[in-house]
Structure 1
Amino acid sequence: MDFPETGSVIEIQSYKHDGTLHRIWEETFILQGTSKEIIGGNDRIRVHEANGRVWRTREPAICYFHRDKWFNTIGMVRSDGIHFYCNVGTPFVWDEEALKYIDYDLDIKVFPDMTYHVLDEDEYELHKRKMNYPPELEQKISEGLEELQSWIYQRKGPFEPSFVEKWYERFLFFR
């Protein structure tokens, strides 16, 4: 199967362009697994950083991955509304061990009023030079960032007003 089954609990792993492990999220519950989209939920899970640091997330979150999109999103359920942390990276792959993607540093933090900030542009520029990203890759990353910003503006996909709430209710039901 090329995607995790609905109802399974998986690990999510992000890597850097050079193949080094970047971060691992433990125990994400798959709310919907199809060949195109993965929607998962988690709450206060352990996260392992490449430098050995381990920490816990602070709130429930709904994660969205798409097989064709160069980004993924994490909708965090907080008392003042839904906050998003979005990663620009490769589309996901599933290999029975974990859901995996390459993180290309550029992130977008989205606030409940749907305003947002692009983050880590300096880190992206540093890694682009250090790891010698080819022009075709830079183009994919740029297109992924633009499409992500368009989805935020249009309130499309995981940014639809009721998306996170709907999936969070399902997460609570299965928990």
Structure 2
Amino acid sequence: MRDTIFGRAFTEWPQRVVVDRGDELRVLLTPGTEGVGPQLWIRSMREGDPGARGRLLEAYARREWEMGAWVWQRTTRLAIMYADRYFAIAPMWDEHGEFLWWYVNFQLPFTRTADGVDTSDLHLDLIVEPDLSYHWKDEDEYALAIRLGLVPEQWQRAIEGARDEALDLVTRRAGPFGEDWRAVPG
């Protein structure tokens, strides 16, 4: 799975396909998986540098970023991606297999390639707790991405609709929010 921007990858992660329904794809990412990502992001993860995220968005806007190796750590993530929705829903578990939360990543609908699938992270996230309470994450990053021209107006309109759609699923406990996630899928 790759995240791309301006036709260039900014993350690449090998993942195991758990379910492929054509327009819905479920892929599993487990601790220890080796992938690549932007060096500024890797540095922010290692050093806890909050300013690195803004510098990374600026690097994307300039189309100048360097990639580095990264090993996925601590959590197991099952990304439920859609070919027709501007978000993915990712149930996540800790290193002991305990369900943590759903991570709703706003992104482009996935497209299939010869090597796997491509999408693009749109810099806005929603964390939904097991009790279905929720909070928005990275709204400041999303606003900066808009200002830098990384999220065109057409995508912004789609994201507004996707925000409503995701919250509707949470409220109705529908889709992945109505499934039992106590155990990590095998």
Q: 1: distance between equivalents of 2:151 and 2:79?
A: 27
- Specify the alignment match of 1:14 in structure 2: 3
Structure 1 SS opposite 2:106? strand
Contact persistence 2:4–2:11 (CA under 8 A): yes
Q: Which of 37, 42, 48 is the matching residue for 2:29?
A: 42
Contact persistence 1:21–1:50 (CA under 8 A): no
Contact persistence 1:46–1:57 (CA under 8 A): no
1:154-173 Cα deviation digits (max 9, x unpaired): 222111131x357x34x1xx
Deviation at 1:104, TM superposition (A): 0.7
One-letter amino acid of the structure 2 residue matched with residue 49 of structure 1: G
Q: TM-score, normalised by structure 1?
A: 0.77
- Specify the alignment match of 1:127 in structure 2: 145
Q: 1: distance between equivalents of 2:135 and 2:150?
A: 26
Q: 2: distance between equivalents of 1:132 and 1:50?
A: 16
Q: Which of 68, 71, 87 is the matching residue for 2:105?
A: 87
Give the alignment of 1:46-85 within 5 angstroms: 46-51=34-39, 52=68, 54-78=70-94, 80-85=98-103
Distance 1:115 1:41, change over 3 A: same
Count of matched residue pairs: 155
Distance 1:83 1:99, change over 3 A: same
Q: 1: distance between equivalents of 2:152 and 2:75?
A: 37
Distance 1:132 1:38, change over 3 A: closer
Q: 1: distance between equivalents of 2:157 and 2:130?
A: 29
Deviation at 1:21, TM superposition (A): 2.6
Q: 2: distance between equivalents of 1:161 and 1:54?
A: 31
Deviation at 1:108, TM superposition (A): 0.9
One-letter amino acid of the structure 2 residue matched with residue 69 of structure 1: R
One-letter amino acid of the structure 2 residue matched with residue 145 of structure 1: R
1:97-139 Cα deviation digits (max 9, x unpaired): 1211011100111222121111111111111121164432211
Q: Indicate whether 1:24 and 2:42 are aligned.
A: no
Q: 2: distance between equivalents of 1:152 and 1:20?
A: 33
- Specify the alignment match of 1:118 in structure 2: 136
One-letter amino acid of the structure 2 residue matched with residue 14 of structure 1: D
- Specify the alignment match of 2:60 in structure 1: none
One-letter amino acid of the structure 1 residue matched with residue 37 of structure 2: E
One-letter amino acid of the structure 2 residue matched with residue 13 of structure 1: R
Structure (1 or 2) with the greater strand fraction: 1
Identity of aligned residues (%): 22
Q: Which runs of 5+ in 2 are unaligned?
A: 40-67
